[in-house]
Amino acid sequence: MLQSLHVKNLALIRETEIDFGEGLNILTGETGAGKSLLIGSVNLALGAKFEKEMLRAGEEQALVELAFSGDEKTNRKLQEMELEPQEDGSVLISRRMQAGKSVFRVNGEVVTAKQVKELAEILIDIHGQHEHQSLLHKKKHMEILDAFAGAEAENLREQAAECFRESRRIRKQIGEEGLDEKERAREQSLAEYELQEIEEAALRIGEDEELEERYRLMSNSQKITQALAEGYGYTSGAEGEGAGSALSRALRAIGSVSSYDRRLEELEGELAEVDSLLSDFNRDLAEYMSDIQFDEETFRGTEQRLDLINRLKGKYGSTIEDILNYGAERKKYLEKLADYDAYMEGLRREEAAAEKKLLEACKKLSAARRENVKVLEENLRESLASLNFLTVDFRIQIQDLPEPGENGKDDVEFLISTNPGEEPRPLGMVASGGELSRIMLAIKTVLAERDDVDALIFDEIDSGISGRTAWQVSKQLRKAARAHQVICITHLPQIAAMADCHFVIEKSSDGVSTVTDIRPLEEEESLGELARLLGSDELTEAALTNAREMRRQALEGKE
């Protein structure tokens, strides 16, 4: 369950923290106080889009933290994500937000938004303020049926989607590679020319780097030769004044007295090593100078070879390896064109096999859906009957689509009739806004009985309902709260009266700034809030009496 929500510097909220309880948690408050802002905060923590305008005026960053109680299922999910649970087994999800940047954390570890959403799927289910409008779209009906069918349908749907993508890939390949005789001859001629050009170049990997290095040397050969000759003159002693000659004279001078002291012998040895190193250096330098003699023909040949390689790079790839790979592809393509009819026939066989596999996957998926349709229909009829639909004929219609798609070959649509004698018709044609809200509540309740999500949030599920129907909705929420934690924002006193934990959201201003805050209500304060919801401007004894009566009815309904 959701244990607590901590929000800081978000819109009108300076800083607030809510500790939720088990069962039915009700949030009420005046219109515009910021009730939906709190649900929005939960959505932000779980990856919803953040805009810098959401920051509280004058602040640079905002923070939202959610603390959930954990269980074995949650721990397994954390292990899959290579995350550690808290010492008490709880899960702490946080998001720190500022303009252009957000940082998500789970139990202190930085994670991605995708990981947070994946974890949230097993922790909480949020019903947004206008989500019931999604029932007007048939796509939602299929999602609901698949959610009810569970893991089996999910796996089969993934298999069908994979088969569909593979089938379309092959079909696209056939469309792209389908050539007539004229096109095939043109393609073959081009591929032969390109392959011949690459093969005649006889490229070698690394050749370009060697040529570029040699070209740099040859381009600067005169400058290099002059510098080396000068250096050789200074070190070899060729002119009689070089370092070599001076070093030899120094070695003879020290050698003439080295026998008088061991330390002088050591110095003579060190100088002899220097003399030897300098001699080696001069030999290497002389050898290098002899190797750097380049003639004009070698230079021009290197230049032309580099031009050829660079031209091929411009046509076939940025490296020699890319050019050779392109040539290998052209060779394979020519082999394919040489036996083109057999190749295309092979592709068509692949397409037929993929199409067959797709239809088999769609058939299994359809069977799983149809196996669950009657059960879902019956459960929803019972749930809708408890929500003050006097008569309700609810059906789920499944028809075959002409062509399979990523979601299979089924067209799923919810039909309903609330008037005796009328045939069920699509939801969008007969259901009002209030009826859609109740239908969505019924669906959420039925699905909640099958899934493992511990916390359910309803943002104004009471849209468009009142009176006796409101009582029925409150009882349905209470029923859901027996197996799950339910957090509900409402304007209706009938629903608020059912609360196990009642919170009020208030907006206040000191003339300079405005602040939204939330606090839990004790029993007497809750009665006062119920009186306000009942329409009382003043907290009179008569208003409180009405609130107590409503609370009494709600308590009786809990039993």
Return the pLDDT at 8.
93
* Nearest C-alpha neighbor of 416 from the set 377, 445, 386, 388: 377
- Where does the pLDDT of residue 294 fall: very low under 50, low under 70, confident under 90, or very high at 90 and above? low
pLDDT of residue 297 exceeding 90, the answer is no
pLDDT average, residue stretch 241-255: 80
**pLDDT (tens digit, 9 = 90+) per residue, 3-60?**
999 999 998 889 999 999 999 999 998 877 777 788 889 999 998 889 888 899 888 9
Residue 394 lies in a domain: no
Residue 472 lies in a domain: yes
Return the pLDDT at 452.
67
- Name residue 140's amino acid: K
Q: In 10 A of CB 532, how many CB atoms?
A: 20
pLDDT of residue 467 exceeding 90, the answer is no
Q: At what angle do helices 467-483 and 433-448 cross, to 10 degrees?
A: 20
- Where does the pLDDT of residue 307 fall: very low under 50, low under 70, confident under 90, or very high at 90 and above? very high
Count of structural domains within the chain? 1
Parallel/antiparallel/unpaired status of strands 455-459 and 425-426: unpaired
Q: What are phi and psi of 26, to 5 degrees?
A: -110, 135
Residue 14 lies in a domain: yes
Return the pLDDT at 311.
93
Q: In 10 A of CB 492, how many CB atoms?
A: 24
Q: Which domain holds residue 15?
A: 1-123+454-518
Residue 48 lies in a domain: yes
175 versus 24: the higher-pLDDT residue is 24
- 61 token code pair: 């960053």
- Where does the pLDDT of residue 520 fall: very low under 50, low under 70, confident under 90, or very high at 90 and above? very high
Residue 110 lies in a domain: yes
Residue 35 near residue 504, CB atoms below 8 Å: no
Residue 101 near residue 90, CB atoms below 8 Å: no
440 versus 527: the higher-pLDDT residue is 527
Return the pLDDT at 373.
92
Return the pLDDT at 366.
94
Return the pLDDT at 132.
66
**pLDDT (tens digit, 9 = 90+) per residue, 56-95?**
988 899 999 999 988 888 888 888 888 888 878 889 999 9
Residues 6 or more apart whose CB falls under 8 angstroms from that of 259 comprise 265
Three-state secondary structure along 202-268?
CCCCCHHHHHHHHHHHHHCHHHHHHHHHHHHHHHHCCCCCCHHHHHHHHHHHHHCCHHHCHHHHHHH
Residue 89 near residue 70, CB atoms below 8 Å: yes
Residue 24 near residue 489, CB atoms below 8 Å: no
pLDDT of residue 324 exceeding 90, the answer is yes
Return the pLDDT at 193.
92
Residues 6 or more apart whose CB falls under 8 angstroms from that of 395 comprise 377, 414, 415, 416, 424
Return the pLDDT at 44.
92
At 101, which CATH number? 3.40.50.300
Return the pLDDT at 239.
53
pLDDT average, residue stretch 478-501: 89
* Nearest C-alpha neighbor of 71 from the set 501, 455, 446: 455
Return the pLDDT at 386.
81
Task: Report the C-alpha gap between 194 and 315 in whole angstroms.
Answer: 9
pLDDT average, residue stretch 401-421: 89
Residue 243 near residue 281, CB atoms below 8 Å: no
415 versus 535: the higher-pLDDT residue is 415
pLDDT of residue 1 exceeding 80, the answer is yes
**pLDDT (tens digit, 9 = 90+) per residue, 442-466?**
888 888 777 667 888 888 777 777 7
Task: Report the C-alpha gap between 396 and 443 in whole angstroms.
Answer: 13
Query: Of the spans 33-42, 192-201, 462-471, which averages the highest pLDDT?
Result: 192-201
Residue 247 lies in a domain: no
Residue 56 lies in a domain: yes
Task: Report the C-alpha gap between 367 and 399 in whole angstroms.
Answer: 12
**pLDDT (tens digit, 9 = 90+) per residue, 333-378?**
888 888 888 888 888 999 999 999 999 999 999 999 999 999 999 9
Return the pLDDT at 243.
81
Q: In 10 A of CB 291, how many CB atoms?
A: 9
- 419 token code pair: 């008037």
Return the pLDDT at 558.
61
Residue 268 near residue 255, CB atoms below 8 Å: yes
Residue 345 lies in a domain: no
pLDDT of residue 557 exceeding 70, the answer is no
